[in-house]
Chains A and B, each alone.
Chain A
Amino acid sequence: MKQDMNLAELSLYEVRRKIYPRAVHGWFAGWRWALVWITQLVFYGGPWLTWNDRQAVLFDIVHRKFFIFGLVFWPQDIVYLAVLLIISALSLFLFTAVAGRLWCGFACPQTVYTEIFMWIERAIEGDRNARMRLDKGKLGGRKLGLKIAKHGVWIALSLWTGFTFVGYFTPIKELWSEALSFSFGPWEGFWVLFYGFATYGNAGWMREQVCKYMCPYARFQSAMFDKDTLIITYDRNRGEPRGHSHKHTLASSPYGDCVDCGVCVQACPTGIDIRDGLQYECIGCAACIDGCDQVMDKLARPRGLIRYSTTHAMEGKKTRVLRPRVLVYSAILLAITAAATASLYLRVPLKVDVIRDRAALAREVEGGEIENVYKLQIMNVTEQARAFEISVSGLPGIRVWGESTAGLAAASSRMVPVKVRVPPDAAARGNHPIEFRVEAIGADRISATERSVFMVR
């Protein structure tokens, strides 16, 4: 501080102290690694799967079609994206209310990639102490070599991540041959580098700062917490007073179970001391639990000095799992998920829009019949070529005149002009509601109806 006084102007920004998380092993670390494997096998492997002779999961933005295994989504299906987001948000709320920041600690990409990057770091530079020593040491051949190796592997993994990400939007096998011949399109190249850089920067450099300063969820998750939420807690009654001495071995030791070894602090990826109580920085990764359990095992004391518990339990009260907010979140989540699943199952892979010819109102044709003309935009969302039969109802004697079938290629759309006639005197002057029905020939489940207006003048 004294030195600071001499400076006329001082930047007050607190420079980040680099955190060197200590590797821990245990039940929760095992779960985190399991989730790393699951999420990353899905992420890296997903775009390589094939379905119906095409990429199984492909978000084809250029052609405005999203393929997810057997389903083809068109821009008209955007509501499913909204539903998916609602389901995700509600699941987040529910899990947070029940068990705190489960998402943050185990499944969030920021955590997952940081875990992978830290594993690489550990494999190359060694664990916490070795890394701290290395960073304090002078820049020599060994240090330079290790750093280059680490960043080299990080960058390679990041580029692969960026490549995989873009592979969800442009066919990954073509992308791969482009990559081999260095012939990415400008946007593909940009997004591979951009996403790769984001991975490298966030998982390699930013790490806990993303959670502490950038993530909006970290800031509002506390609104979902209550005294019955599972949080990672230090058992103050059991641990305090902290201390370590030979007296620990005595039955009459003045100290609690916490030996103040600092493993929980060293293991923390966000650099906090869990013994100070619940803090907004805590991402619920449970690394401190694993670390403390290891120490307790060595001391032959029961595990769980730091453990998942609730504020109520810590206060010696009863924890209520089924409380109104949990029930409400679950009910809404269940209802929306059921509705979305049913709607997806019942989804008709055919879409029809009727556009009435605006300039030509109504025309009188042979025999005094009245004719109106419509354009039917028919979208065949299935992956088979199909023929469709067009019919119309709503007025006595109303019928499609002329060609009433339309063939469509797989996953394509077509504009079909349709003439509709009614006998003379079938309807008075004015507008009459009618209904078009489009049916796939040979697949009676696939049909759609659309309303329009028939004009008589």
Chain B
Amino acid sequence: MSQFTSGFWDVFIAVVTIVSIVACALFLKSQSIRRKPGPADTTGHTWDEDLAEYNNPLPRWWSWMFYITIVFSLGYLVLYPGLGSWSGTLGWSQISQLDDEQQLAAKRYGPLYDKFAATEVDVLVKNPEALAVGQKLFLNTCAQCHASDGAGSRGFPNLADRDWQWGGEAKTIKDTITGGRTATMPSFGALGEQGVKDTAHYVRSLSGLSHDSIRKARGEGLFKANCMACHGAEGKGNPAMGAPNLTDRTWLYGSAEPVVIETITRGRSGQMPAHKDLLTEAKIHLLTAYVLSLSQQK
């Protein structure tokens, strides 16, 4: 309601509403009695030469139905927000309704999650009932980025392999879901076009991909000077800071030479959002088990 910056509109709405209701009641009253004694008047309209229309009041039961709607509307306006800024004696709002429903859901499904929360993750991984619930949570919450099968997509890590950017322990995974992760690969465009290309060839050589051996030799020095801090001397990465292992066959953004060049030139930034405010601890516990189960299937 931020567009209503003054109290005027609240008052305006309340007045229009009240006046309309009162006017309806008065109009109804005027239509349910006849003004003149004697037999009914006609409206004075004539159709097809001799068809006239009686000017009769409304049937009584009909009038009463209208009066009931008026009483209802007054009761409604007292109980619910409707008159300007009046919030209603029941205190109802869309948010409060959502809260109520969520509380109800928490009460209804709480015991189920509590049962799972009390069980260790490595036991849950083998519990089909827990995994079925975990799968539903995963499809609702995680599948948008990590895909329905958990195998990820470009820029979103594959959770179904055994390669973990941040570590594959149950506790680490739980931390990742709870607090989120921010992975930043800084830009090394300063190395210059040739420098970047040389580095890219060295990086590709680490996982046995085709490369130019002269460029690789030149790139090795550049790698040691610029990349080692995060990716390690051997390029095996560092899960503590989310630096990917460059010697395996897993490529988050792609392994083709132009892609690697782009990664080095512009840097990359990955963001796993924190879920502690979106999911309960018990749900995160269950999701951890499900995510772990993805890579243990094969």
Interface residues in chain A, defined as those with a beta carbon under 8 Å from any beta carbon in chain B: 1, 4-13, 15, 213, 357-361, 363, 371, 373-375, 402, 415, 417-419
- 10 A–B pairs (Cβ distance < 8 Å), ordered by A: A10-B37, A11-B32, A12-B56, A13-B32, A359-B156, A360-B151, A360-B156, A371-B151, A415-B135, A417-B147
The answer to whether B108 has its CB under 8 Å from any CB of chain A is no
The interface centre, meaning the residue of A363, A374, A417 with most chain B CB atoms within 10 A of its CB, is A417
Chain B positions 40-88 with a Cβ under 8 Å from a chain A Cβ: 40, 56-60
The verdict on A415 contacting B139 (CB below 8 Å), with A12-B56, A360-B152 known, is yes
- Which chain A residues border B60 with CB–CB below 8 Å? 11, 13, 15
Contact of B40 among A12, A357, A358, A360 (CB under 8 A): A12
The interface centre, meaning the residue of A7, A8, A11 with most chain B CB atoms within 10 A of its CB, is A11
Q: How far is the CA of A8 from the CA of B153 in the complex (A)?
A: 84
Contact A417 B139 (CB under 8 A): yes
Q: How far is the CA of A76 from the CA of B56 in the complex (A)?
A: 49
- Which chain B residues border A359 with CB–CB below 8 Å? 144-145, 147, 153, 156
The verdict on A361 contacting B153 (CB below 8 Å), with A11-B32, A11-B33 known, is yes
The answer to whether B34 has its CB under 8 Å from any CB of chain A is yes
Chain B positions 127-179 with a Cβ under 8 Å from a chain A Cβ: 135-136, 139, 143-145, 147-154, 156
- Which chain A residues border B144 with CB–CB below 8 Å? 358-359
Contact code string B100-126 (vs A, CB < 8 Å = 1, else 0):
000000000000000000000000000
Minimum CB–CB distance for A153 against chain B, Å: 25
The verdict on A12 contacting B38 (CB below 8 Å), with A363-B151, A375-B143 known, is no
Q: How far is the CA of A448 from the CA of B33 in the complex (A)?
A: 66
Contact A11 B149 (CB under 8 A): no
Interface residues in chain B, defined as those with a beta carbon under 8 Å from any beta carbon in chain A: 32-35, 37-40, 56-60, 135-136, 139, 143-145, 147-154, 156
- Which chain A residues border B40 with CB–CB below 8 Å? 12
Minimum CB–CB distance for B140 against chain A, Å: 9
Q: How far is the CA of A1 from the CA of B32 in the complex (A)?
A: 19
Name the residue of chain A whose CB is nearest to the CB of B39: A1
Contact of B58 among A13, A358, A360, A419 (CB under 8 A): A13
Contact A12 B57 (CB under 8 A): yes
- Which chain B residues border A363 with CB–CB below 8 Å? 151-154
Contact of B38 among A5, A15, A374 (CB under 8 A): A5
- Which chain B residues border A419 with CB–CB below 8 Å? 149, 151
Contact B34 A360 (CB under 8 A): no
Q: How far is the CA of A418 from the CA of B152 in the complex (A)?
A: 14
Contact B153 A11 (CB under 8 A): no
Q: How far is the CA of A374 from the CA of B147 in the complex (A)?
A: 9
Q: How far is the CA of A357 from the CA of B150 in the complex (A)?
A: 11
Contact A10 B33 (CB under 8 A): yes
Q: How far is the CA of A361 from the CA of B156 in the complex (A)?
A: 12
- Which chain A residues border B147 with CB–CB below 8 Å? 357, 359-360, 373, 417
The verdict on A415 contacting B136 (CB below 8 Å), with A12-B40, A13-B59, A373-B147 known, is yes
Contact A357 B33 (CB under 8 A): no
Name the residue of chain B whose CB is nearest to the CB of A206: B61
- Which chain A residues border B39 with CB–CB below 8 Å? 1
Q: How far is the CA of A6 from the CA of B151 in the complex (A)?
A: 90
Q: How far is the CA of A340 from the CA of B60 in the complex (A)?
A: 45
Contact of B57 among A8, A11, A358 (CB under 8 A): A11
Contact of B37 among A5, A361, A415 (CB under 8 A): A5
Contact B37 A360 (CB under 8 A): no
